[in-house]
Structure 1
Amino acid sequence: MLDDDIAAVLFPNDIERGLKLCEEKKERFRKLVKEKAMPIKGLYKLTKWVEDHGLKRAAVTNSPRPNAELMISTLGLTDFFNHNIIIGDECEHAKPAPNPYLNALKLLNVSKDHTFICEDSVSGIKAGVAAGMPVIGLTTRNPKHMLMKANPTLLIENYEDPKLWEVLGELNKRENEA
């Protein structure tokens, strides 16, 4: 959820109080991320596969830019994304609207027919589906049943999930045949 929505739910009669709480939450996140951030299992295996295949990539998030940049840096992914970070609040509409993913397509100059998205949120899956791209949903933060309602192409537990590598193996096979 976006901060305005969170504030309205938590403090419907005092939105300013809710927004202040959201800012405090972001500050606390930035303090804790350096010591607590851990990559999802198999993340670096997937990034190597992406790099080995010469795929373009972008980070697309509804997180505030300072949080996104800090997380990407902490996980050692700054060079992987080549500073291609799309922030929902910097788009005409944030996720679950497709705008952030459509902006990423323009930035990278790629077709939606040659992309895939990895997402761990309902709003992110909805955004990718609305943008017309295949979405790999991750059950790392949200329950499977919630994510399935957003209609991901594939649902996995982490980046080591055999279902993911079966699909990527099939892509390798098609690439080699072409």
Structure 2
Amino acid sequence: MIPKPGAALLFDIDGTLADTDPLHLRAFNQTFEPYGHHFDKPRFALELQGLANEAIARRFVPHLSPEEGMAVMRGKEELFRDLARTEIHAVPGLFALLDLADAAGLPMAAVTNAPRANAELILTGLGITHRFRAVVIGEELAHGKPHPLPYLEGLRLLGASAEHSVAFEDSRTGITSATSAGIATIGIRTSLRDEDMLVAGATMSADGYDDPALLAFIQAKVSKSAAA
């Protein structure tokens, strides 16, 4: 693989690099059951997955002040990190794809709405922190996902172009963010169905990074043709 100028790979973290959604679901239920909320997997995917903590607090504990709501969310994230320290598993095929990108000199960024502590825990737990030239944290920007700003910032930090890059996402909000930034996006089916991802704007979806169709799409999108 010889990358095109400006080509890059941009990855969401939760549910995309690691299948962490079951851990988030457990942490959300433990946190919000005292407030009368219980989430099954479909409700989690529709109402929580990929959203910024501020938006979640406004919706599910609106009777609390903004400061109190964010304190609730910080507690949820602490619960998640406690679970994730011993239960992080990479999405199938991830390491082989990262090896391929590194060997080709194809730059990569991680782009997430998760707090920085969560992002660092997952990247460190998988042993892949060094793979990414940039880590973009949505809550540290003026706008998080579904706004395109996080992915636009990822492109900027990599010196990459949307036209020759590919993003990987597992949530509706993430797909909206990446596609609104002009990046062709592949959905990773850790929580959503193929049809849900296509409706949200994904070009295609896959169960893992070892899917031949996914690999062929990446090759066509980011590589120079043999005739070039």
SS in 1 for 2:92: coil
How far is the alpha carbon of 1:8 from its aligned partner?
2.2
Structure 1 CA distance for aligned equivalents of residues 92 and 209 of structure 2: 6
TM-score (norm 2): 0.72
Structure 1 CA distance for aligned equivalents of residues 136 and 213 of structure 2: 28
C-alpha offsets along residues 29-60 of structure 1, whole Å, 9 cap, x if unaligned?
A: 11121210000000011111211221111100
C-alpha offsets along residues 37-85 of structure 1, whole Å, 9 cap, x if unaligned?
A: 0000000111112112211111000000111011011111111014x10
C-alpha offsets along residues 74-132 of structure 1, whole Å, 9 cap, x if unaligned?
A: 111111014x1001111221111110111111111111122111111111110111001
How far is the alpha carbon of 1:144 from its aligned partner?
3.0
My pick for the range that moved more, 108-117 or 37-46, is: 108-117
Query: Does residue 194 of structure 2 align to residue 121 of structure 1?
Result: no
Q: Map residues 162-177 of structure 1 onto 2, 5 A cutoff.
A: 162-170=212-220, 174-177=224-227
Query: Does residue 200 of structure 2 align to residue 150 of structure 1?
Result: yes
Structure 1 CA distance for aligned equivalents of residues 71 and 141 of structure 2: 23
- Number of equivalenced pairs: 177
Query: Match for residue 9 of structure 2?
Result: none
- Indicate the structure with greater helix content: 1
Structure 2 CA distance for aligned equivalents of residues 51 and 76 of structure 1: 14
Identity %: 35
Query: Match for residue 87 of structure 2?
Result: 36
Query: Does residue 190 of structure 2 align to residue 109 of structure 1?
Result: no
Do the aligned residues in 1 keep the contact of 2:198 with 2:204 (CA within 8 Å)? Answer: no
Structure 2 CA distance for aligned equivalents of residues 48 and 168 of structure 1: 14
Query: Does residue 193 of structure 2 align to residue 138 of structure 1?
Result: no
Task: Identify the match of residue 60 of structure 2 among 6, 10, 27.
Answer: 10
SS in 1 for 2:111: strand
TM-score (norm 1): 0.90
Give unpaired runs (5+ residues) of structure 1.
none
Do the aligned residues in 1 keep the contact of 2:176 with 2:201 (CA within 8 Å)? Answer: yes
